[in-house]
Amino acid sequence: MDSRSPHSVTQDTIAAIATAWGEAGIAIVRLSGPEARRLADRQLVLTVPLSGTPPRYLRNGFLLDEKGEAIDQVLAVWFAPPKSYTGEEVVEIHTHGGTLVAQKCLELLLCRGARLAEPGEFTKRAFLSGRIDLTQAEAVLGIIRSRSDEALRAAARTLKGELASFARDIYDELLALSGKMEVSLDFPEEDLPYGNDEDTGHSLLAIRQSLEDLLDRCATGFLLREGIRVAIVGRPNVGKSSLLNALLRESRAIVTAIPGTTRDLIEEVLTYRGIPLRLVDTAGLGDPSDEVEAIGISLAEEAFKNADVRIWVADGSTPPAPFDFDMAERLRDLVHVVAVNKSDLPPGREDTGRTTEEAISELLPESPVLSISAKKGTGLDNLKDAVVSSIAGGGALDSGLNASARQVNEIRAAIGFLRDASEALESGLGQDIAGSGLAEARSAMERLLGITGDDTLLDYIFSQFCVGK
């Protein structure tokens, strides 16, 4: 066999939900790797197992839960290497309803031995197996964080409701402003209502602000879907590992252990209310005693910095130490939740007192503070709720808009183009330069909305302005 042949490369089998997070008619769970069919067949009862089905042939059947009971009617199909997206053996399972069933299906597959795909890993594998070349890989750079082209498609399909309507409103404003500027550039001899550069500048700023707001909400939604990175911090022996284990034990849905981006930190993933929480235990955040520990600490620092939320585990059975004051200082401007552990234990020594919720609240008056017992497993749901709320804001998960990474990028791009347009206008470089910036922003929004802008501007101009010879 040709040594470049992609399926001879030994790799683990990865799985992910390929469709966007949120409500949709169906969701697709995708597996890629040498074990894809075998894993699927163990979790599904199909009219004919995939192992006996020709590739690209859709089978009907049921998804079983861990007790062997059918929980959803599904469709499954497999693609033989090398004629699949990744060039590997690929299975797709189509489940019903939004994320819940798909999430369950994914969890079951992960229990069977599949590994949760990293964002963009399907595309990465397609590239590595020679299915797409570097040019194309670069071409999909904008979508590399979404998991596959199907995900993109699904995002476009499910792009409805709030995101679309907000984005559409902003797009319409952009179009109107663009139209006003362009018409005066193309028809200089007509009496047109182009105001002055100052008014245009104000409009540009207002539109940019709307985009920034939209971006905030999308970022939240994105986080909810891609997972919240949670760093567990606190001084040694405060119960960080116990908390981690308790969280994992308590959640039946232990997903998997993924070696983190750094080799020495272990990232554990569990899902809570359908949202992946990526937990990193930052053991040994504090003063290093030797060089090895120093490396560990710098990794922990990194994780601390990069996390979306930090759980500060404080020891409820001892009084606050200097470390705690430092930690409170460091956390002040970061998203965090405080867990007071061992609050049920008697104080270590009679005279030393303990760290109470009130004491923490004095240090960090704005912070959510919860009492837990890692050992007994109490207060964990409240803690997870607090973690999710700290991201979603007010606990309303659906305030986050369901945008894909690609869509978030387009919003960012549009903001950048509008900033350039404002600068060009302010420095008197000309309406044509500002107009070009607006046009760029417009096409970013068109890509976001999945509409072709072809003649939209001209349609707008000719419907709004009376021009022509």
Q: Which of 69, 189, 350, 351 binds another protein (CB under 8 A)?
A: 189
Q: Which of 149, 173, 293, 344 binds another protein (CB under 8 A)?
A: 149
Judged by CB under 8 A, the chain residues 216 through 235 that form the site for another protein are: none
Distance CA 363, CA 367 (A): 9
Smallest separation, CB 452 to another protein (Å): 5
74 vs 152, which CB is nearer to another protein? Answer: 152
Q: Which stretch binds another protein (CB under 8 A): 108-116, 268-276, 343-351, 459-467?
A: 459-467
Q: Work out whether 436 is an interface residue with another protein (CB under 8 A).
A: yes
189 vs 333, which CB is nearer to another protein? Answer: 189
Distances in Å between the Cα of 456 and the Cα atoms of 185, 451, 459 are 17, 10, 5
Smallest separation, CB 26 to another protein (Å): 17
317 vs 431, which CB is nearer to another protein? Answer: 431
Q: Which of 54, 68, 346, 468 binds another protein (CB under 8 A)?
A: 468
Q: Work out whether 135 is an interface residue with another protein (CB under 8 A).
A: yes
Smallest separation, CB 83 to another protein (Å): 8
54 vs 468, which CB is nearer to another protein? Answer: 468
Q: Which of 89, 121, 182, 226 binds another protein (CB under 8 A)?
A: 182
Smallest separation, CB 59 to another protein (Å): 18
Q: Which stretch binds another protein (CB under 8 A): 70-78, 372-380, 395-403, 439-447?
A: 439-447
Q: Which of 76, 93, 132, 177 binds another protein (CB under 8 A)?
A: 132
Q: Which of 27, 101, 418, 424 binds another protein (CB under 8 A)?
A: 424
Three-class DSSP labels, the chain: CCCCCHHHCCCCCEEEECCCCCCCCEEEEEEECCCHHHHHHHHEEECCCHHHCCCCCCEEEEEECCCCCEEEEEEEEEECCCCCCCCCCEEEEEEECCHHHHHHHHHHHHHCCCEECCCCHHHHHHHHCCCCCHHHHHHCHHHCCCCCHHHHHHHHHHCCCHHHHHHHHHHHHHHHHHHHHHHHHHCCCCCCCCCCHHHHHHHHHHHHHHHHHHHHHHHHHHHHHHCEEEEEECCCCCCHHHHHHHHHHHCCCEEEEEECCCCCCEEEEEEECCEEEEEEECCCCCCCCCHHHHHHHHHHHHHHHHCCEEEEEEECCCCCCHHHHHHHHHHCCCCEEEEEECCCCCCCCHHHCCCCHHHHHHHCCCCCEEECECCCCECHHHHHHHHHHHHHCCCCHHHCCCCCHHHHHHHHHHHHHHHHHHHHHHCCCCHHHHHHHHHHHHHHHHHHHCCCCCCHHHHHHHHHCCCCC
Q: Work out whether 199 is an interface residue with another protein (CB under 8 A).
A: no
Smallest separation, CB 81 to another protein (Å): 13
Smallest separation, CB 450 to another protein (Å): 7
Q: Work out whether 370 is an interface residue with another protein (CB under 8 A).
A: no
The two beta strands, 70-79 and 59-64, are: antiparallel
Q: Work out whether 198 is an interface residue with another protein (CB under 8 A).
A: no
49 vs 142, which CB is nearer to another protein? Answer: 142
Distance CA 108, CA 66 (A): 7
Q: Which stretch binds another protein (CB under 8 A): 25-33, 319-327, 328-336, 424-432?
A: 424-432
Q: Which of 78, 447, 448, 449 binds another protein (CB under 8 A)?
A: 447
Binding mask 99-128 for another protein (x = CB under 8 A): ---------------------------x--
Note the residues at the interface with another protein (CB under 8 A): 2, 126, 130-133, 135-136, 138-140, 149, 152-153, 156, 182, 184-191, 424, 427-436, 439, 443, 447, 450, 452, 454-455, 457-458, 461-462, 466-469
